[in-house]
Structure 1
Amino acid sequence: MSRRRTVAAVTVLVVAGGAAVYGSYLFSERNAPTTASGRCTASLGDGASTLTAEQAGNAALIAAASARLGLPARGATIGIATAMQESSLVNIDYGDRDSIGLFQQRPSQGWGTVAEIMDPYYSTDTFYRALVKVDGWQDMAVTVAAQTVQRSAFPDAYANREAAARLWASALRGHSGSLAVDCDVEAGPGTTAAALVRRLDADFGDGAYEVRRLAATEDAIWLDVMPAGGDESQRDAVAAWLVAVAGAESVEAVVNGAAGWERGVGASKVRAPADVVGVAVQLLPRAEA
């Protein structure tokens, strides 16, 4: 059943350049679709790559892990390309012989226990820790770096994933503009501000982002998500990340400066002051205490 949202403005306090200013986030009037495609697209210039929402969420986790571990965006490209080839960016519990998980790591080859490898955070961190031990990995072709870690029977296959992986890595590391990911997803199950903070900390590391509750409407809470270092690429990265995980984390809208995304509508339908700092997120309030 479709849900109708009328035009509504939420006034929130936003800190910009050290001064407190007020801005209004304006939702458009729409009939939310009864069925979403469940697809997400990362774009840069004329290039675009589309994944399922599940795949996009895993790409977001992999890209965030590369930032958390202090790796350059190239690390994210290699990580995403590897998982695209190995598991189609799905955390599967099967594969060739005893290969499992996002990176198809094998317990018999010392990658960890089944339970550990099926944890996407463990498997991603384990992949990156192996990658950084490869001498000169940053200067290698993506497929060579990936193959050196994975030792696949198809060593050239990772190259087929490089273009798409680069688009996602660029968007999710904040190098493709203020809002480079668009998702068409169903509403999430509902969440809390604390739950979003836990997910942010798990993906990006404790304290990488500060979350402040700003305001509430009948069916949403508004949060300000600010990078600890105030870096523009960090703001753009978390904006893309928030859209990529929207279905799973019950994100309803994201605002990054003058760019916006709203579930059921898409890009550029949420209005905010051009000088706003950080990201405003609307969360479904059902679970909010």
Structure 2
Amino acid sequence: MSEPSPHPVKRRGRVFRFGAALMTLLAVAGYLVVQYVTGGRSGPGCTVVSGEDDGARYRFTPEQAVNAATIAAVGTGRGMPERAVTIALATALQESGLRNIEHGDRDSLGLFQQRPSQGWGTPRQIMEPAYAAGAFYEHLGKVPGYTRLPLTVAAQRVQRSGYPEAYAKHEPDAKLLAAALTGHAAATLTCRGNPDAAGVQAGPDAVRSALVRDFGRDVLQDAGAEVGGRATPTPSPSSSPSSSSSPSAQDGTRTVTLPVAAGASPVKGGTARQRGWQLAHWAVANASALHIERVSFAGREWTAGTSDPRWRPTGAQSSGETGRTADAVRIVTGQ
């Protein structure tokens, strides 16, 4: 009898090595997908938690954070209630995953997958998140009793989607985001940020331009915004950000200060404190995009690039709701 051929053993060895390599590759790919979707715990990424101490939280990317903050700012700038912001955020989560995508069904585009052929605007307009959000709110405001309707019904009256029930699954996350980004829930949104990000718009001018882009020109006029202790003129929404400030300058020349006056909140029934937390959370959400290093408000401070990005007490005391201002939001940029 002839001896068994060694070839089956070699083939089994090759199959084993191939299988092991494939499993490793799939594990790495899975890790990268999770990091992209959640924002990652070790890299730039954002988290919003419930203000009710019920353990609810939502993790998302810096890109999603910027878009969510814009949607909320445009809504409150139009005097829309928090419920409207929740509906808008849930809709964008379903339609685009809060990403400003350049493709979709037929000619659908952007955060809300709006169609130029259906009168939502030009492709260029729809790809501007502030414009897209404004168009959504304009249509939502025409829905009778939308604040009392189930979220899926209200969203569907605007979107006319083929899958209207799909909006419902995003309502819990949208509520968390809306509570933070309208300032209703204090110190609930954090981002790990990346103060060393290259190629980003940076400096106080970039922050002011982005504020005007999202909130409108009144955000600086009403707040009496100051940079380095000096009142600054309100920039045009289309003005180009300046990067002339030196990264090595003192914080005073890199700080945008937004005093929050009593009655400043555009949200119905909102307080100055709520307005302050809306602006503070907006700044944190835009930290990576605008090279923001620190944000402080109401005796708390958030710092970019730390292993624990939670809001920390600063020891500063808020002047409360009874003084000329409740507090001031201070945004320190990297340049």
TM-score, normalised on structure 2? 0.71
Measured after TM superposition, the shift of residue 38 of structure 1 is: 2.1
1:279 and 1:116 map into 2 onto residues whose CA distance is 31
1:175 aligned partner: 184
Measured after TM superposition, the shift of residue 224 of structure 1 is: 1.5
Runs of 4+ in 1 over 6 A off after TM superposition: none
Q: RMSD of the TM alignment (CA)?
A: 1.9
1:272 and 1:174 map into 2 onto residues whose CA distance is 21
1:17 aligned partner: none
1:253 aligned partner: 294
Structure 2 counterpart of 1:202, from 199, 213, 221? 213
Measured after TM superposition, the shift of residue 175 of structure 1 is: 0.6
- Which protein shows a greater Rg? 2
1:33-76 Cα deviation digits (max 9, x unpaired)? xx952211111222211111100110000000011111001111
1:218 and 1:91 map into 2 onto residues whose CA distance is 34
2:201 and 2:124 map into 1 onto residues whose CA distance is 27
1:283 and 1:181 map into 2 onto residues whose CA distance is 18
Measured after TM superposition, the shift of residue 238 of structure 1 is: 0.6
Structure with the higher fraction of residues in helix conformation: 2
Q: What runs of 5+ residues in structure 2 fail to find an aligned partner?
A: 1-40, 230-245, 265-271, 320-326
Q: What runs of 5+ residues in structure 1 fail to find an aligned partner?
A: 1-34
1:229-278 Cα deviation digits (max 9, x unpaired)? 44111001111111011100111011112221100121234724022612
2:29 aligned partner: none
Structure 2 counterpart of 1:161, from 170, 175, 181? 170
1:226 and 1:133 map into 2 onto residues whose CA distance is 34
Within 5 Å, which residues of 2 pair with 1:1-289? Answer: 37-44=43-50, 45=53, 46-177=55-186, 179-187=187-195, 188=197, 189=200, 191-208=202-219, 209-214=223-228, 218-219=248-249, 220=251, 221-228=254-261, 229-230=263-264, 231-265=272-306, 266-269=309-312, 271-275=314-318, 277-285=327-335
1:175 and 1:79 map into 2 onto residues whose CA distance is 17
1:138-197 Cα deviation digits (max 9, x unpaired)? 1111111001100111110000000000000000000111x2211012124352322211
1:152 and 1:213 map into 2 onto residues whose CA distance is 45
1:179-229 Cα deviation digits (max 9, x unpaired)? 221101212435232221121122112122332123798354223212354
Q: Which deviates more from structure 2 when the two are superposed, residues 105-114 or residues 223-232?
A: 223-232
Equivalent AA in structure 2 for residue 148 of structure 1? R
1:236 and 1:255 map into 2 onto residues whose CA distance is 10
Residue identity (%): 38
* Pairs aligned (count): 250
Q: Indicate the SS of the match to 2:46.
A: strand
Is the 1:253–1:270 Cα contact (8 Å) retained in structure 2?
A: no
Equivalent AA in structure 2 for residue 224 of structure 1? T
Q: Which deviates more from structure 2 when the two are superposed, residues 165-174 or residues 193-202?
A: 193-202
1:39 and 1:213 map into 2 onto residues whose CA distance is 28
